[in-house]
Amino acid sequence: MKPIAELVRLKKKLRIIGFDDAPFQKERGSPVNISGIICTDTRFEGMLWGEVQKDGMDATEVITQILQSSKFYPQINVVLIDGVAVGGFNIIDLPKLAESLKRPCIAVMRKPPDMSAINKALKNFPDYSLRREILLKAGKVYSHRNFYFQVQGCVPNIAAQILEQATDNGNVPEALRLAHMIGAAVMTGQSGNRA
């Protein structure tokens, strides 16, 4: 597989997977479904489905496992995550995910994170320092046009170009938009209005 910077430079189509959590119950430890939507640029190509624990510590391993064990894995160029946590505060170790999958991993946000509010919430966990360390490992939050993101596995300017290429309109890449809508529809019977 060619390096991502080369694919972007040559304006090649990218096979992207976007992960988002589905609506979930509030109880700590309850199951949270996550959907992984595969798109070639903005065209829907396939779907993966998995489960993590609410406020657990298994998201990095679950995402790695469901993607690596799928038929799509050899074709995937980039992994997108809706934020750096799923299922409440099940924080994804972004550098470890990128290293395990050998793919650039980008956590995409709608607005810059409120780190003081997040830090305050993390203090409710007995393993506060570990969760905070994993959160900080995700790295600097970058902004590009309407995108806010953290990236591991490629340089920020390439990540910004990937996000543009993966977005049909607005500021949510199509794979993440579909992951959000499909997850909501599977769990509640209808897709939500905010992706």
Per-residue pLDDT of the chain (195 residues; tens, 9 = 90+): 789 999 999 999 999 999 999 989 888 889 999 999 999 999 999 999 999 999 999 999 999 999 999 999 999 999 999 999 999 999 999 999 999 999 999 999 999 999 999 999 999 999 999 999 999 999 999 999 889 999 999 999 999 999 999 999 888 999 999 999 999 888 888 876 665
The predicted structure's pLDDT at residue 194: 60
Identity of residue 187: M
Give the span between the Cα atoms of 155 and 178, in whole angstroms.
Answer: 26
Residue 113, burial from CB neighbour count under 10 angstroms (0-12, 13-18, 19+): middle
pTM (predicted TM-score): 0.95
The number of beta carbons lying within 10 Å of the beta carbon of residue 9 is 12
Question: How many residues does this entry show for the chain?
Answer: 195
What are the extents of the domains in the chain?
A: 4-184
Locate the DSSP E strands across 83-157.
85-86, 90-91, 105-109, 142-144, 147-152
**CATH of 4-184 given 1.20.120.550, 3.30.2170.10, 3.30.70.660, 3.20.20.80:** 3.30.2170.10
